[in-house]
Amino acid sequence: MVEVHILRQDKDLAVRGLLKRGITDASDQIDQIVALDDRRKDLQTQKDELLHQVNEKSREIGNLYKSGRGSEANLLKTQVGEYKTEITRLEASMDTTMETLEKALLSLPNIPHESVPAGQDETANEVVDTHGTIPDTDSQDLRPHWELMEEYDLVDLAMGAKVTGSGFPVYKGQGARLQRALIQYFLDRAVDAGCMEVIPPFMVNADSAMGTGQLPDKDGQMYYVEKDDLYLIPTSEVPVTNMFRGDILGLDQLPKRLTAYSPCFRREAGSYGADVKGLNRVHQFDKVEMVVIAHPHTSYDMLDWMVNHTRSILEELELPYRILRLCGGDLGFTAALTYDFEVYSVAQKRWLEVSSVSNFETYQSNRLKLRYRDENGKTRLLHTLNGSVLALPRIVAALLEKYQTADGIEIPDILKTYTGFDCIKKG
């Protein structure tokens, strides 16, 4: 969540940033938050003063009893009792104020970075780079991936629907091996780039979902196990970042770079139509994620590093791609700046999102109480970042469509040592 001192010191900057998200009443929201914080501070001051008086009077009472002045001591005891009653009242008022303040802060999204364009939806996103040649496919009889995966028996959507429900694919044969090859390739590239690989839990508690911002914002998009009060993860960003919840890191530990593979679970309520056909949008999918915890002075250098890493993988796979800087209206609730990577689907003739790389600045770390100790010994909030490198379903879709031939589906050179075969053929 946004730090209150930022709202106090840079209110105009915050209002302008939130206006990029389409929030027109940000000034009123900020005023409410600051007033609640003022109220919290005032109640704390009153409580601290009364606690000081209780301590002082208690020592005085002891001295009075020792000197035989019991009646005076008893009068002070009555006064101390009144102070304690007032402290109890102040604590109750503080609890109410803090609860209201926290709800107000949790409802406020992150303040966009100054480079984020204004806009209400994806039509206002900025294309910052395009790589690769989009082939002229009008003269070619290219088939969409959902036909190819059925013809070559790679992914079975009907079987997944039978076992679980719509949106839970079953990968089979060479399709399963291609999926596993991509996961291993992505992990190897991340480790070679300096990331520590971890295998996190695939379920998290509410504190973890709150820490990275899935709660309360995306409550309806997560699968919830009511009996155990646990959530299936929508991305490994959630458990990996929460591994450091409440920690204070030394400067010599920064930056922390981690990578993890996990299945991801998203309800994707309200998703219908052609855009969700085949592997375009499913409820369970595989993804390799990068998480970076960085010093505030270097976090945007780390964001560039993650963008370039993702870029290099798509170039090795020889997939045409473009990079978008998301506008305020399309920016995730917790992000300060996000770059989306999209690959081109030659059969569907449209761009498919395959990665988001984001800097959250202190928004997550403020929830997580994830800090570092500076040169003067003072604790300060770290910056957190994450990026998909990469989400598998649409990468598989793009690969099947691009590399289809009359004789089968070829495998990109970079993957051949991972798959163990050069071409997907029938049978």
Q: Which residues are annotated as a binding site for ATP?
A: 266-268, 282-285, 353-356
Distance, in Å, from the CA atom of 183 to the CA atom of 187, rounded to the nearest integer, reads 6
Kindly give the interhelix angle for 299-316 and 173-192, rounded to the nearest 10 degrees. Answer: 140
Strands 383-391 and 284-294: antiparallel
Percentage, residues of the chain above pLDDT 90: 88
426 versus 421: the higher-pLDDT residue is: 421
* Cα separation, 206 vs 218, whole angstroms: 12
Q: Residues 362-373: pLDDT tens digits?
A: 999 999 999 999
- The confidence score (pLDDT) of residue 405 equals 95
The confidence band for 259, taking pLDDT boundaries of 50, 70 and 90, is: very high
Residues in the annotated binding site for L-serine? 235, 266, 289, 386
Model confidence at 275: pLDDT above 80: no
At 74-109, the pLDDT tens digits run: 899 999 999 999 999 999 999 999 999 999 999 999
pTM for the full model?
Answer: 0.92
Which residues sit in the known binding site?
235, 266-268, 282-285, 289, 353-356, 386
| Model confidence band, residue 127 (pLDDT cutoffs 50, 70, 90) | very high
pLDDT at 66: 87
pLDDT-derived band at 223 (thresholds 50, 70, 90) equals very high
DSSP letter (8 states) at residue 263? E
H/E stretch holding 30 reads helix 26-66
Mean pLDDT of the chain: 95
The pLDDT value recorded for residue 45 is 97
The burial of 117, by beta-carbon neighbours within 10 Å (0-12 exposed, 13-18 middle, 19 or more buried), is given as middle
**pLDDT score recorded for residue 316:** 98
**For the CA atoms of 416, 418, 419, 423, what is the dihedral angle to 10 degrees?**
-10
Does the pLDDT value for residue 139 go beyond 70? Answer: no
DSSP H or E segment with residue 105: helix 70-106
The mean per-residue pLDDT over the stretch 186-208 comes to 98
pLDDT digits (tens, 9 = 90+) for 31-77: 999 999 999 999 999 999 999 999 999 989 988 888 888 888 889 99
What pLDDT is recorded for position 268? 74
- Determine what percent of the chain falls in helix, strand and coil, rounding each to the nearest 5: 45, 20, 35
- For 296-317, the DSSP string reads TTTHHHHHHHHHHHHHHHHHHT
**CA dihedral sign, ordered 401, 402, 407, 411:** negative
CB contact burial 20-47 (16+ within 10 A = b; e otherwise): bbebeebeebbeebbebbebbeebeebb
Instruction: Enter the tokens of residue 130.
Output: 């395009």
Report the share of the chain in percent with pLDDT over 70.
Answer: 98
The CA R_g of the chain, rounded to the nearest whole Å, is 27
The whole-angstrom separation of Cα 219 and Cα 209 is 9
Q: Is 17 helix (H, G, I), strand (E, B) or coil?
A: helix
Q: What is the pLDDT of residue 136?
A: 75
Tokens standing for residue 327: 């506008």
Is the pLDDT at 270 greater than 70, yes or no?
Answer: no
At residue 140, the pLDDT reads 73
For 320-379, give the DSSP string.
-EEEEEPPTTTS-TT-SEEEEEEEEETTTTEEEEEEEEEEEETHHHHHHT-EEE-TTS-E
Average pLDDT over residues 289-295: 98
Query: What is the reported pLDDT for 219?
Result: 86
Confidence of residue 272 (pLDDT cuts 50, 70, 90): low
- Give the Cα separation of 293 and 251 in Å (integer): 11
Bond preceding residue 112 cis, omega within 30 of 0: no
Q: Which one, of 214, 235, 210, lies nearest residue 367 by Cα?
A: 210
How far is Cα of residue 316 from the mean position of the Cα atoms in its chain? 26
> pLDDT tens, 313-328?
999 999 999 999 999 9
Q: What is the pLDDT of residue 401?
A: 96
Domains and CATH numbers, the chain: 4-106 (1.10.287.40), 122-424 (3.30.930.10)
Confidence of residue 269 (pLDDT cuts 50, 70, 90): low
